[in-house]
Structure 1
Amino acid sequence: MPSSKTKVPKENFFNVPAFLTVSGQLHLEVMSGAFTRVFTIGPTFRAENSQSRRHLAEFYMVEAEISFVESLQDLMQVMEGLFKSTTMMVLSNCPKDVELCHKFIAPGHKDRLEHMLKNNFLTISYTEAVEILKQASENFTFTPEWGVDLQTEHEKYLVKHCGNIPVFVINYPLALKPFYMRDNEDGPHHTVAAVDLLVPGVGELIGGSLREERYHFLEQRLARSGLTEAYQWYLDLRRFGSVPHGGFGMGFERYLQCILGVDNIKDVIPFPRFTHSCLL
């Protein structure tokens, strides 16, 4: 907090309003046009009023953007490869640290992790996921319905239903997703080419999509959302030439939860900051 002697600037530091970022994705899309395959890892901020075991107001996210990707299957292959290759590297280089967590925090998690690594990840559509949830004998707090976002309890049930193997859920309703996701043009249901990777114990670990590279589609989506002026620079990326591309983001702390078997996300970051709590 500024002291009584501190001068508070009358104008914005950057001459325009500026905010903490919720994602580096849009900037990565700029870079992917020049370098084809790009990634970043950095702090991410979300003002979500949640006290859950998997949410923080500040966390780290690994994000990637890939040009010339034309199908979700191609993108999912990269997502699965990232999870498996990174995990194998961690197990190879930090075996004692991982074993310590598995021994004292999550007994039996080593077998669950090996089960994830040796099996191919599964894929279901959002529509299939809703049908599975509707037929479940579980008493969910939130009733599953088509057109409504999946809750954590739904995500964890789907993974359990699939044999505790990570599962990709694809093709979400357009109304649930941001303007930049590619329209599937699939009739009454109207979905976008979005994908979430759900993993045991955590739920959603990675979220991604194909990006809407078609100028007129993006222009219409922005206009309907009243965002044309704010995102004119983003629209210009399509105006002056674009290619099919896609990308994803993986929460680093949720990844640690997944491989170490840690139940609470606040236990895998040195200084957890969440709603109503920012001690350091």
Structure 2
Amino acid sequence: MFQAAAKTLSVASTTRGILSCIRHFCKKIPTKLRVSEAVSGAGLGEEIKVQGWIRSSRPQKTNLFLHVNDGSCLQSLQIVASSELNNPLLTFGAAVEVTGILKKSPHHRQPVELKANQIRIVGECNSVDFPFKVKERHNFEYLRQFPHLRCRTTNFSSLLRIRSEATAAIHSYFKEKGFVQIHTPVITSNDCEGAGELFQVEPSGPGFEGDENFFSVPAFLTVSGQLHLEVISGAFSKVYSFGPTFRAENSQSRRHLAEFYMVEAEVAFTQSLEDLTKVMEDMFRSATEHVLAHCAVDVDSFHKHVTPGHRDIVNAMLMKKFPVITYSEAIDILNRSSEKFSFPTDWGCDLQTEHEKYLVKHCGNIPVFVTDYPYYLKPFYARDNQDHPEHTAAAVDLLVPGVGELCGGSLREERLDLLRARLEKVGLEETYSWYLDLRRFGSVPHGGFGLGFERYLQCILGVENIKDAIPFPRFSHSCLL
């Protein structure tokens, strides 16, 4: 009888253990949310978990207040915790994981707050040595000294989210218009622009000593994907690319980088610059309107704290159709101006930044197209305007406020005899024999353009220096990280 009772107790104990385990494993696991999801009210009233970095810490006698951000949006999530959860390591910049109940906030400035029951420090931050200070908006020139850390600041994180959204907007525009995206090569054997500003690619390391040409011919980092897009446009009527390009310009200007991103498009079966300017203007408007709608909080904050008043300029650009003037008309405008220019404004001189900015201002401080440049100012592929009294090329630039040239494009010379004569004149007929083949086998009138993506961001945000429109700037005498 005693043994039976003991067996019954053993079974009961085992059952209680099993039930305890079941209750433990069936306990609801906190939902992991991004800060953007939490501040929008997702998971309200539920136990959630967020991970991010502390933007501010306010310990009080009975409560601890933290603001945590994970980069998903501009707004931080307020964390309210008992002072018992306070820790000297909960400093500005520290990485944390917070679990608690998401509740409505009694304060009108924030819709929700997280009542924390657990705060785990994931990564400590020595706030004494950390180069950024809580609640301080550092200027971009200061931030540029810390390319490995500047993404953690409010202004630069806003710029990166806007950059991401603008990238998506441009891809969306081309997809909607029936363009096919092409990945053009980064390593190439041609100099599309003909300016000679090339980075040569050479192998290094054991086994390559004395091997001058890994590819059997000199190879370079691409300055443009245009010629490769022209190849593809022989089979697809509308193509585009969006990728890095490189220019070995020994420049410290606010408009140039050694590595930057280009949006390039090529359209077949077109005989008019108007076809190209329409795509340029439509893409600019579509992308900008998308960014203003989908990144409104970041854009508004940027225009408020970094470039006050610039939103009015952006709104003006979107309200009016972009005017079109010829190069000859542009020269006439410059020569009639009372402005004193550093560079000459004679017909045949290339337009400099000071000229471009003046022309934009003259046209109402909105983007303006300049067409029909002198033929010898443009590369070999630009179409010859034989019917013009002056020797011009069917080329166009889009000039925008604060930047100057944003887009450059042209109709391409599809006439074999004229193209061959031009290449012979500059001694490139053998180098570009494949390019002549494109005109021999099913050639059609076509044209295209390129847009500097960082300059586009400068234009819509008012960023003064192009080095602040890209995550990791590369320029003469600087290649940090």
Tell me, yes or no, whether TM beats 0.5.
yes
Q: What are the Cα deviations for residues 49-72 of structure 1, in whole angstroms up to 9, with x where unaligned?
A: 221111011100000000011100
Q: Which amino acid aligns with 2:425?
A: R
Aligned twin of 1:146: 347
Aligned partner of 1:233 among 434, 440, 445:
434
Matches within 5 A, 1:49-88: 49-88=250-289
Q: Which amino acid aligns with 2:429?
A: T
Shift of residue 241 of structure 1? 2.1
Aligned twin of 1:268: 469
Q: What are the Cα deviations for residues 37-56 of structure 1, in whole angstroms up to 9, with x where unaligned?
A: 00001110111222111101
Change (3 A) 1:240 1:120: same
Aligned twin of 1:211: 412
- Runs of 4+ residues over 4 Å off in structure 1: 1-7
Aligned twin of 2:71: none
Shift of residue 2 of structure 1? 9.2
Q: What are the Cα deviations for residues 56-95 of structure 1, in whole angstroms up to 9, with x where unaligned?
A: 1110000000001110011101110010001111111111
Q: Which amino acid aligns with 1:17?
A: P
Aligned twin of 2:61: none
Change (3 A) 1:114 1:222: same
Greater Rg, structure 1 or structure 2? 2
Q: What secondary structure does 1:269 align onto? A: coil
Shift of residue 279 of structure 1? 2.1
Shift of residue 277 of structure 1? 1.7
Shift of residue 14 of structure 1? 1.4
**Count of aligned residue pairs for this structure pair:** 280
Distance 1:198 1:6 in 2: 49
RMSD of Structure 2 on Structure 1 (CA): 1.6
Distance 1:187 1:270 in 2: 45
Distance 1:195 1:45 in 2: 22
Change (3 A) 1:10 1:167: same
Q: What secondary structure does 1:205 align onto? A: strand
Aligned partner of 1:158 among 353, 356, 359:
359
Distance 2:375 2:469 in 1: 33
Distance 2:219 2:250 in 1: 21
Aligned twin of 2:328: 127
Matches within 5 A, 1:173-184: 173-184=374-385
Distance 1:58 1:139 in 2: 33
Identical aligned residues as a percent? 69
Q: Does residue 95 in structure 1 map to residue 296 in structure 2?
A: yes
Distance 2:301 2:292 in 1: 12
Contact 1:126–1:171 under 8 Å retained in 2: yes
* TM-score, with structure 1 as normaliser: 0.96
Change (3 A) 1:165 1:3: closer
Shift of residue 11 of structure 1? 4.4
Shift of residue 147 of structure 1? 0.6
Q: Does residue 19 in structure 1 map to residue 193 in structure 2?
A: no
Distance 2:311 2:368 in 1: 19
Q: What are the Cα deviations for residues 160-208 of structure 1, in whole angstroms up to 9, with x where unaligned?
A: 0000111000000011000000000145520000000000000000000
Contact 1:174–1:191 under 8 Å retained in 2: yes
Distance 2:435 2:366 in 1: 37
* TM-score, with structure 2 as normaliser: 0.57
Worse overlay, 165-174 or 86-95: 86-95
Distance 1:49 1:151 in 2: 17
Aligned partner of 2:455 among 246, 254, 260:
254
Higher helix proportion (structure 1 or 2): 1
Distance 1:210 1:124 in 2: 17
Aligned twin of 2:64: none
Shift of residue 148 of structure 1? 0.8
Larger RCO (alpha carbons 8 Å, 6+ apart): 1
Distance 1:187 1:123 in 2: 17
Distance 1:123 1:3 in 2: 49
The answer for unaligned runs of 5 or more in structure 2 is 1-201
Shift of residue 17 of structure 1? 1.1
Q: Which amino acid aligns with 1:171?
A: D
Contact 2:203–2:214 under 8 Å retained in 1: no
Matches within 5 A, 1:184-223: 184-186=385-387, 189-223=390-424
Distance 1:139 1:109 in 2: 26
Q: What secondary structure does 2:233 align onto? A: helix
Aligned twin of 1:47: 248
Contact 1:101–1:261 under 8 Å retained in 2: no
Distance 1:78 1:13 in 2: 39
Aligned partner of 2:312 among 97, 108, 111:
111
Distance 2:333 2:373 in 1: 15
Distance 2:214 2:297 in 1: 47
Shift of residue 5 of structure 1? 5.9
Distance 2:317 2:409 in 1: 20
